[in-house]
Structure 1
């Protein structure tokens, strides 16, 4: 396949996936991704009131470093059939939100949070026994979450089938057994969606909507 053929292949796949996600049952998944990305402007308006807040408030750090780039990047992955990429970005946003909420719960350090302090905090968590799971469970208790999925539940569920090594193998075997086809994105990317992929896409859409509700609870 020469360069022109490869470019045309990419173009055809992405255009086909765009049509798939703009029609029928696929539209709700795309809308969930768009709503999550568009939430950034609302949250910036409500939580970032000055340029200083981008660097010194946990909310500003989360929105700048995690939500804005990864939520829009997730849409790109969705159009290319890269569901693993979607889950990876969702998990990074979830962990970033958890860390920033945990910092906020401790009270803003003086003279203010900044990128260097956030890096030091995240690295210290990796090296301590205070694991990400413990942080998330503590946040679940602090926020008394009702009507939305918890940090710990979302973190576990968004990792199992896509980000742990056993996940892709399990999905491949299950897809071959259940429908006689490989799951989307298993062998090559970009990958074209077919109707058999709708169940996997709907599951992703549920997680995106659940994270959006969680975001509204912890950053009202």
Structure 2
């Protein structure tokens, strides 16, 4: 997960050389808006294809990046989450709906869609939570870490360390927090992580206004 100082977060899955190229470009550019990310994404796709001597076009085009940012209207301020992939979205920015989990599956899942089916049977990817629910953070963390634990148990390419990017909108400003969670440090039963366990995770917070 990449910190975008002037925006929010960016994460990627796919062909390694393309991902590293894209991350380098996006950090150096200090992007300020989604249009700049779209441009860098398309530049990186083209360069990665040339650098690979046209040998990994399918892998590069199948790669996916996600990123978040803050949008505002005259009445409201809200968070946006977008996806880009040449193969899946034809290099266009795809906005994610609210109240939905969007999973960027690792290669093992893409190569075996039965794993995807089993995962989506185990977890409801739509979650309705009232914005004023006092337990909203615990509910979301429980679901996210449980999903991550499930996938990382099955996919050898996924580490047991989960990076969680959180965004807080308040009257005092916009704050970002990054937590690094060692899943193996949690005591869990089956594929579920309890709220009590989450509350004791030693998060490392780095906040930015």
Does the pair score TM above 0.5? no
Bigger proportion of residues as helix: 1
- TM-score normalized with structure 2 length: 0.29
Which has the greater radius of gyration? Answer: 1
Higher relative contact order (CA closer than 8 Å, sequence separation 6+) = 1
- TM-score normalized with structure 1 length: 0.28
